[in-house]
Chain A
Amino acid sequence: MNGIKKYLRRAKSFSLSAIERAGNSPKITLLATVLACLVVSLFEKHIQTYWLYVSYDIGVNIILAVSLNLINGYTGQFSLGHAGFMAVGAYTAAVITNQFSSFSPVLAAVVFPLALVAGGLLAAVAGLIVGIPTLRLRGDYLAILTLGFGEIIVVVLQNMDAVGGARGYQVFHGWTNLFWAFGIAAVAIYMIVALVHSTYGRGFIVVQDDEIAAAAVGINPVKYKVTAFVIGAFFAGIAGGLYAHSKQYLAPDGFGYMKSIEIVVMVILGGMSNTPGVVLAAILLTLLPEGLRSLQDVERVPGIATEYPLSWIGNTRMIIYSLLLVVLMLTRPQGLFTIKK
C-alpha cells in the first residue's frame, strides 16, 4: 500500500515537473509539438478518413477560439464577427492555390503556407478596418458592429461571381493535413500566450481590466484594441485557409453569424482569457455534435436485452447541443475550466 502511494506521489511530482519544464522552455516544447505533428501526419493514411477530417476541424477550431480569445478574453472586447475574418482568409487562400492546377508535393508545400499567410494578411487588413471603430464604440455597440461586418462580408461574397457567388466555390487541393492543422494551432497558441505574457502584452490585460487606468499610466487602449483585432483576424484568416483546403468547398452562408457564435461559445465555455480552457472547449465542442451524430447508428444499448435504437439522439443532436449549452451556462457561468475566484 505504502509502495503504491509512494509511486503515485513520485509519478505526480514527475508529471508536474514535466509541465513545469514545458512552461520554462516553451520554445522547445513548441518545436517538439510541431515535430510530433509532422511525424503523426506521415502516418495519416492509416487513420479513418472521418476521424481525420474531424481532427482537421479540431485544429481549425482551436486556432479560431484561441485567436478570438485574444480579442474577447484578454483584451475584453466583444467581437461577434470572427467568422467573417475566417471567410476572408479562406477565400483568399483558395483563390491563390486554385491558380495552380497540379504539381509536385514539394512545390505544394511551398505554395500552401504562402497562400495561408496571404489569407491571414488580408484578414488582418479586415481586422484593422473593423478595429478602428473601437476608437469610439464599446460593449454591445461594438458587438453588433462586428456582427454587421461579418454579415456584410458574407453578402459581398454572395455577390462575387469570381468566387462562385452564392453557389459556393470549389477548392481544388485538399492540402490540409495534421501537420498544418495542429502545427499552426500550436504556433498560434504559443504566439498568443507569449504575446500576452510579454511586457508589451500585459497592456491587453490592463485594457481589459480598466481602460481609464491604462490610459492614465500611459498605455494607449486604442492601440492595444486595434492590435488585438489585427492579430486575432490574422490567425482567423489562417484558420480559414486550413478550413478551405480541408473541406474543398466554400459556401458564403457557412461564415455567417452562426459560425461566429460557435467560436464565441468556445471562448466563453472555456473561460475567458484562459487559453488551456479555451483549447479544451474547442476540442470538446467539435467532438460533441460528432459524438451525438455517431449515436444515430446505435441499434441497442449494451447490457439491455430489448432493442432500443438510439437514432432519436442523432436526429435531435442539435437540440441536445443547445440544451447542454444552456445547462452548462446555468451551472458554470464562469466557464467550464475556470477556477472560481
Chain B
Amino acid sequence: MTEFLQQLINGLAFGSILALIALGYTMVYGILRFINFAHGDVFMIGAFAGYYLTPRVAAFLPTPSIWSALVVMAGSMAICAALGILIERFAYRPLRQSPKLAALITSIGISLFLEYGGQNVFGAAPKPFPKLIPQYSVGAGGLSVTSNQIIVLAVTVALLVILRFIVLKTKTGMAMRALSFNPEGAALMGVNINVIISFTFGLGSALAAAAGILFAVLYPAVDPLMGIMPGLKAFCAAVLGGIGNLPGAALGGLIIGTVETFVAAYISSTYRNAIAFAVLILILLIKPSGLLGKKDIEKV
C-alpha cells in the first residue's frame, strides 16, 4: 500500500507536468485547429532559460529559495511567451489561409530548428540543473515525499486555477472561447483575432516554460532534445482528454503520467515510453473523440 501511494505521488507529479504542456497543445488546437509540434521544444527552451537565469538571479537573491525560484520561473515564462508569440507571428500567421498540413510541416521545421539550434548554442550534452528550491524530504510510515514533488503539484494547481480564471472570467478569455467556437463570427463581433491568437500562443508557451522549470527541478538535467518525449506524451494527453478541451488536457496528463509511472514500477520500466501511446490507442478505440471531447457530427 505504501509502495502504491508512493508511486501515485510520483505519477501525479509527472502527470501534472504533462498536463501543463498538454494545455498549450489543446489551446492552440482549439483556436487554430492545428497541431503545434514545436510546443515540446518551447518546453525545452523554458528549462534552458531557467538554467541560464538561475546564476544571474542568484547574484541578488539568496538561492536556493522560494523567491529566487519564483523570479526564475516568471522570467522563463516571459521568455517563452515572447518566443511563442514570435513563432506564431513569423511562421504560422502567413499560413493561416493555407492547408493545415502546411502549418503542421512548418511547426515541425520550427521544432527541428529549436532542437538543432539548441544543440549548437547550448551544446548537445546534458547539463546539471542548478538547485533552485531548498529540498526537504517528508517521510511518514515508509512513505517519502520530497518537497519538490509537493511544489510541482502546488504550482500546477495554482497555474490551472489562474488559467481557468483567465479563460472563464476575463474578457480576453471570452474572446478566446468565441474564437474557438466560430472564428468568423468572433471577428464580426469585434474580436481582434490576431491579438487573441498571439495571446493564446503566449499563454500556452508560458505554461510550457513553467512545465520545463518544474521538470528540471524534479529531474535535474537539461538537454536540447529533452522536449521530444514529454512533448509527444503531452500531445497524447491532449488527444486523450479530447483535443481542444482544457479540463480534458489536464485530466489526460494526469492519467498518462500516473499510468506510466505505475507500469514502470510494477511491470517493466523498459516499456515506459510505449505506455502513453498504448493508453491513448485503447481509449481512442473505445471513445474516438477522447474522454471529454465533443463528438463532431458530420454534416453533408
Contact = CB atoms under 8 A, between A and B. Distances in A.
Interface of A: 78, 133, 136-137, 140-141, 143-145, 147-149, 151-152, 155-156, 158-159, 212, 257, 261, 264-265, 268-269, 272, 315-316, 318-319, 321-323, 325-326, 329-330, 333-334
A85 to B, nearest CB: 16
Contacts of B29: 140
Contacts of A330: 91, 94-95, 106
Interface string B201-244: 00000000000000000000000000010001001100100010
A137 B91 CA distance: 29
Nearest to B111: A322
Contacts of A318: 112, 116
Contacts of A323: 109, 113
Contacts of A137: 284, 288
Given A151-B273, A268-B105, A329-B106, A145 B120 contact: no
18 contacts: A133-B285, A140-B243, A141-B284, A141-B290, A144-B280, A145-B284, A147-B232, A151-B274, A159-B270, A159-B271, A319-B116, A322-B117, A326-B106, A329-B102, A330-B94, A330-B95, A330-B106, A333-B98
A333 B113 contact: no
A149 B116 contact: no
Contacts, number: 115
B108 interface: yes
Given A143-B35, A152-B278, A158 B113 contact: no
A148 B278 contact: yes
Given A140-B29, A319-B116, A155 B288 contact: no
Given A148-B236, A325-B105, A319 B117 contact: yes
Given A316-B120, A329-B105, A140 B278 contact: no
A95 B285 CA distance: 32
A140 B35 contact: yes
A97 to B, nearest CB: 27
Contact of A156 (B113, B235, B274): B274
Nearest to A318: B116
Contact of B285 (A136, A159, A272, A333): A136
Interface in B68-117: 91, 94-95, 98-99, 101-103, 105-106, 108-113, 116-117
Given A140-B239, A330-B94, A265 B108 contact: yes
B224 to A, nearest CB: 11
Interface residues of B, number: 44
B277 interface: yes
Nearest to A315: B120
B65 to A, nearest CB: 37
Nearest to B116: A318
Contact of A322 (B103, B109, B243, B273): B109
Given A147-B232, A319-B120, A326 B35 contact: no
Given A133-B284, A136-B288, A155-B274, A326 B243 contact: no
B277 A148 contact: yes
A77 to B, nearest CB: 12
Contacts of B98: 333-334
Interface of B: 29, 35, 91, 94-95, 98-99, 101-103, 105-106, 108-113, 116-117, 120, 228, 232, 235-236, 239, 243, 268, 270-271, 273-274, 276-278, 280-281, 284-285, 288-290, 298, 300
Contacts of B95: 329-330, 333
A322 B116 CA distance: 8
B105 A141 contact: no
Contact of B232 (A151, A155, A315): A151
Contact of B298 (A151, A156, A212): A212
B112 A321 contact: yes
A272 to B, nearest CB: 7
Contacts of B277: 147-149, 151-152
A148 B300 contact: no
Nearest to B110: A326
- Central interface residue in B228, B243, B284, by most chain A CB within 10 Å: B284
Contacts of A268: 101-102, 105
A273 to B, nearest CB: 12
B120 A158 contact: no
B102 A257 contact: no
Given A151-B232, A264-B108, A319-B116, 13 more contacts: A140-B35, A140-B243, A141-B288, A141-B289, A144-B235, A144-B236, A147-B232, A148-B276, A257-B228, A321-B116, A325-B105, A329-B95, A333-B98
Contacts of A322: 109-113, 116-117
Given A133-B281, A151-B274, A326 B113 contact: yes
B110 to A, nearest CB: 6
Contacts of A151: 232, 273-274, 277
Contacts of A333: 95, 98-99, 102
Given A212-B300, A322-B112, A148 B280 contact: yes
A156 B35 CA distance: 27
B106 to A, nearest CB: 4
